Amino acid sequence: MEYLPEEQIYNLEVPLKQGYYNYLYGVDRGEDLEIMPLEGSSYKTENEYHYLVYFRKRFGEYDRIICYRKQDFNKI
């Protein structure tokens, strides 16, 4: 990242595929690395997330779901 003193911000352009991304910032404080979430806690959200992990054999013709997890933030 590059610090822009005129705007007092850090800036970095990274090409990413379309989608939703979560970010964490790491600040090097000598011996320790402090990790800070960008968006804070999500315990008050009303979102429901479904995580699907797919697997395709090397020359396979279809994807296979090998893991599924549902996370409902309304119940946390």
Residues 1-20 have pLDDT tens digits of 788 999 888 888 888 788 77
Tell me what pLDDT residue 19 has: 77
Tell me what pLDDT residue 6 has: 92
**CA dihedral in degrees (20, 21, 22, 26; nearest 10)?**
-160
Residues 34-56 have pLDDT tens digits of 666 555 555 566 677 788 888 88
**CA-CA distance, 15 to 37, in Å (whole number)?**
21
pTM: 0.34
For tokens 């479904």, the residue is 50
**CA-CA distance, 25 to 21, in Å (whole number)?**
13
DSSP state of 40: -
Q: Are 27 and 34 in contact (CB under 8 A)?
A: yes
Tell me what pLDDT residue 47 has: 72
